[in-house]
C-alpha cells in the first residue's frame, strides 16, 4: 500500500498555471505507476494523465495534451502535474492514484488514492 498526499492546488485566473504535487510514502514508490484524475462538481471522475514507475513513459487524456505535463522524482517520492493555459472547465478536485507497474486510464485499476487538491480557474 502507498499513502499519497496531493498539494499545490488553488485559485488561478484563466490562462494561468499551477504545479500539483503528489507525495508518496509506504512501499517502494519506484514500483508504482501514478495517475492523475479529476472530478468537477456534478460530473464523473475523469482521467488526466499517468506515468510509469521509471518515468520513461507518460500518457495524457486528449483534452490535456500540450497543456499538462506529468513527471516524477523517485528520490523525492513525488509525482508532479504541471498545468498551463488553464481554462475554467479545468476547475475540479485533482487526485493522484497509484498502482503497481503499468499505467492505466481506468480509475478502477488504481488501488491507492490521495485525498485530492482543489483547482479553481476563474474566467
Give SS3 for 87. coil
Digit-coded pLDDT (tens) for 12-71: 999 999 999 999 997 788 899 999 999 999 999 999 999 999 999 999 998 887 899 999
pLDDT at residue 104 is higher than 90: yes
Q: Considering the chain, what is the average pLDDT of its residues?
A: 95
What confidence score (pLDDT) does residue 65 get? 77
Amino acid at each position: 500500500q502507498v499513502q499519497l498526499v496531493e498539494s499545490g492546488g488553488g485559485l488561478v485566473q484563466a490562462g494561468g498555471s499551477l504545479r500539483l504535487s503528489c507525495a508518496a510514502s509506504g512501499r517502494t514508490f519506484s514500483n508504482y505507476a501514478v495517475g492523475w484524475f479529476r472530478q468537477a462538481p456534478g460530473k464523473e471522475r475523469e482521467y488526466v494523465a499517468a506515468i510509469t514507475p521509471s518515468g520513461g513513459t507518460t500518457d495524457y487524456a486528449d483534452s490535456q495534451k500540450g497543456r499538462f505535463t506529468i513527471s516524477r522524482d523517485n528520490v523525492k517520492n513525488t509525482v508532479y502535474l504541471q498545468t498551463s493555459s488553464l481554462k475554467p472547465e479545468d476547475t475540479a478536485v485533482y487526485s493522484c492514484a497509484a498502482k503497481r507497474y503499468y499505467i492505466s486510464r481506468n480509475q478502477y485499476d488504481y488501488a491507492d488514492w490521495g485525498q485530492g487538491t482543489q483547482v479553481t480557474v476563474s474566467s
